[in-house]
């Protein structure tokens, strides 16, 4: 199992300096993770830092609230692609989903998918604000609009990824749509539990801790059985 290639190393906190971004890219490259996920203004910096490493450059659009106009989300996505982004994590319009305006949510996501020009698009639902029915609806709309992933959270809401949400989202979409867990994925045990439930990508800031723990277990330094987390562990 290649745990590293399941991780998007997250560099989204507002206080991060350019040196922090460079250091984060160094970590991502040395650990050979799937991608970094950087703020939009850092895409060019990350592209240069990761050139030739095989680590993808991910970024965000409509972040973190999802309530920018569709034309702005699409324009932002086109600019990010031009700057070198390989993947775009976009926040759907949470308020419109909660209002039952499914046509708006569909058009919003579809515009971003078109603007991404074939790049991977991950749709963030921000589950902390949604009912289970709304989560399922959001996942199905994301799939219909052409997204490649559905994602639990931005990491900036009151709650993050939970086991029950991953199970719900996995069941809501077709097998070719992937599920990304983000928000509170701080340990290897949490990652493994959510992976077993159907998540294939993980947004994490604790990348080194997770991968060091995995390497130690591979060497036999620690037990390999992951305890199932309780609802409050995320």
Count of structural domains, the chain: 1
Please state, in angstroms and rounded to a whole number, the distance separating the CA atoms of residues 48 and 164.
38
pLDDT tens for 200-228 read: 999 999 999 999 999 999 988 855 444 43
User: Is residue 153 assigned to a domain?
Assistant: yes
Please state whether the peptide bond connecting residue 64 to the residue before it is cis, i.e. omega within 30 degrees of 0.
yes
User: Is residue 227 assigned to a domain?
Assistant: no
| CATH number assigned to the domain comprising residue 111 | 3.20.20.70
User: Is residue 166 assigned to a domain?
Assistant: yes
pLDDT tens for 64-108 read: 999 999 999 999 999 999 999 999 999 999 999 999 999 999 999
User: Is residue 37 assigned to a domain?
Assistant: yes
From residue 210, alpha-carbon distances to 8, 66, 123, 205 in Å are: 12, 29, 24, 9
Is 151 marked active-site?
yes
Is 180 marked active-site?
yes
- CA–CA–CA angle 125, 127, 131 (5° rounding): 110
Range of the domain at 27: 4-222
DSSP string, 95-136: HHHHTT-HHHHHHHHHHHHHHTTTSEEEEE--GGG--HHHHH
User: Is residue 101 assigned to a domain?
Assistant: yes
Options 89, 108, 165, 213, the catalytic residue: 89
User: Is residue 230 assigned to a domain?
Assistant: no
Options 42, 73, 151, 165, the catalytic residue: 151
The model's pTM is: 0.93
Is 101 marked active-site?
no
User: Is residue 204 assigned to a domain?
Assistant: yes
Options 73, 122, 135, 180, the catalytic residue: 180
User: Is residue 157 assigned to a domain?
Assistant: yes
């Amino acid at each position: 199992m290649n745990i590293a290639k399941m991780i998007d190393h997250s560099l989204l906190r507002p206080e991060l300096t350019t040196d922090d971004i460079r250091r984060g890219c160094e970590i991502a490259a040395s650990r050979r993770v799937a991608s970094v996920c950087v703020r939009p203004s850092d895409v060019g910096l990350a592209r240069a830092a990761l050139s030739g490493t095989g680590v993808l450059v991910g970024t965000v659009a409509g972040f973190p609230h999802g309530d920018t106009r569709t034309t702005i989300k699409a324009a932002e996505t086109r600019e990010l692609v031009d700057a070198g982004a390989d993947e775009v994590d976009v926040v759907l319009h949470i308020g419109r989903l909660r209002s039952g305006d499914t046509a708006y949510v569909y058009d919003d996501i579809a515009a971003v998918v078109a603007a991404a020009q074939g790049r991977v698009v991950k749709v963030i639902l921000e589950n902390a604000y949604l009912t289970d029915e709304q989560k399922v609806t959001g996942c199905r709309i994301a799939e219909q609009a052409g997204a490649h992933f559905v994602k639990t959270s931005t990491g900036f809401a009151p709650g993050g990824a939970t086991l029950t949400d991953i199970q719900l989202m996995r069941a809501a979409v077709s097998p070719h749509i992937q599920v990304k867990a983000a928000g509170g994925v701080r340990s290897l045990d949490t990652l493994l539990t959510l992976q077993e439930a159907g998540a294939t990508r993980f947004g994490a800031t604790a990348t080194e801790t997770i991968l060091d723990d995995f390497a130690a277990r591979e060497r036999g330094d620690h037990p390999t059985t992951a305890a199932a987390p309780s609802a409050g562990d995320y």
